[in-house]
């Protein structure tokens, strides 16, 4: 017979208690190790991977000023020799075709890209304002008339699509606000500038608040224009003679 002080079930329970204690210590050790490892890895900077696109991967030209990622996942890349669309695997090129009236007019893409609510893409070459028609995979082209009624047909630089309707475009030294619902109207410039590029600043409600013009061939800084309902209400200049501004991003706090 087993002594009363050490019955079989008590011995088994004691062994289980010892195993449980060892298991608990092992789990605690593993948890502590995992915590330390996590802290170490979190302090390490994340690895950055870059995928390079060039003419070897299908781009029409290595000179690219504008890149845009649209809502369908395509990346649009400008060039001085055609338009490029990258789908994550391959590049599709678009070029002028004299036998196709829905192809590009002009090879030099001279603006950024702007997507409207229909998911069509607005941009310009030097020879026309373009709207890429996603449903048909082709382009519509637009021109407008100046205050004298003459059609403007060159040196387009589109820099903003306002409220899904108004195209802001620089032509030579003139900046216009064009109603895409009325291309036949005679338009006068909103303002004039000798600077090459323009960017916009929006208020917290998403309304156009400022236009910034910059980038000449010397340290001229930038000009700013406060905009209200398509008209200039204030203008000024910053950093004149101090800085050569190549690009600008407006952050509204």
Instruction: Compute the distance between CA of residue 149 and CA of residue 210 in angstroms, rounded to an integer.
Output: 28
Domain of 166: which CATH number? 2.130.10.10
Whether residue 112 is found in the same domain as residue 98: yes
User: Is 5 part of any domain?
Assistant: no
List beta partners, residue 77: 67, 84
Which 3 state secondary structure label does DSSP give 132? strand
Instruction: Identify the CA nearest to 170 among candidates 183, 181, 159, 182.
Output: 159
User: What is the percent of the chain with per-residue pLDDT over 90, rounded to a whole number?
Assistant: 62
Q: Which of 17-26, 64-73, 76-85 has the least mean pLDDT?
A: 17-26
Statement to judge: residues 139 and 171 lie in one domain:
yes
Report pLDDT digits (tens) over 182-215: 999 999 999 999 998 999 999 999 999 999 999 8
Total domain count for the chain? 2
Cα first-last separation, the chain: 85
Best-predicted range by mean pLDDT among 47-51, 60-64, 104-108? 104-108
pLDDT the model gives residue 42: 55
| Residue 161 sits in the same domain as residue 230 | no
**Structural domain ending residue among the three candidates 146, 168, 189:** 189
Give 90-121 pLDDT, tens digit per residue.
999 999 999 999 999 999 999 999 999 999 99
């Amino acid at each position: 017979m087993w002594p009363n002080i050490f019955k079989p079930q008590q011995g088994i329970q004691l062994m289980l208690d010892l195993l449980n204690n060892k298991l608990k210590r092992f789990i605690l050790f593993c948890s502590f190790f995992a915590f330390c490892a996590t802290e170490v890895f979190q302090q390490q900077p994340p690895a950055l991977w870059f995928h390079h696109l060039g003419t070897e991967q299908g781009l029409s030209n290595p000179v690219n000023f504008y890149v845009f990622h649209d809502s369908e996942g395509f990346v649009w890349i400008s060039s001085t020799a055609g338009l490029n669309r990258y789908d994550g695997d391959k590049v599709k090129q678009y070029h002028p075709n004299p036998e196709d009236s829905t192809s590009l007019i002009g090879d030099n893409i001279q603006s950024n890209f702007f997507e409207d609510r229909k998911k069509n893409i607005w941009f310009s070459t030097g020879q026309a304002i373009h709207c890429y028609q996603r449903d048909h995979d082709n382009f519509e082209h637009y021109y407008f008339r100046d205050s004298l009624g003459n059609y403007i047909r060159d040196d387009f630089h589109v820099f903003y699509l306002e409220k899904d309707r108004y195209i802001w475009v620089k032509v030579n030294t003139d900046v216009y606000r064009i109603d895409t619902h009325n291309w036949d109207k005679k338009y006068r410039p909103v303002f004039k500038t000798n600077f090459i590029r323009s960017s916009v600043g929006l208020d917290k409600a998403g309304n156009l608040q400022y236009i910034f013009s910059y980038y000449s061939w010397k340290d001229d800084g930038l000009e700013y224009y406060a905009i209200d309902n398509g008209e200039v209400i204030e203008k000024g200049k910053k950093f004149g003679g101090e800085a050569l501004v190549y690009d600008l991003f407006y952050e509204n706090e």
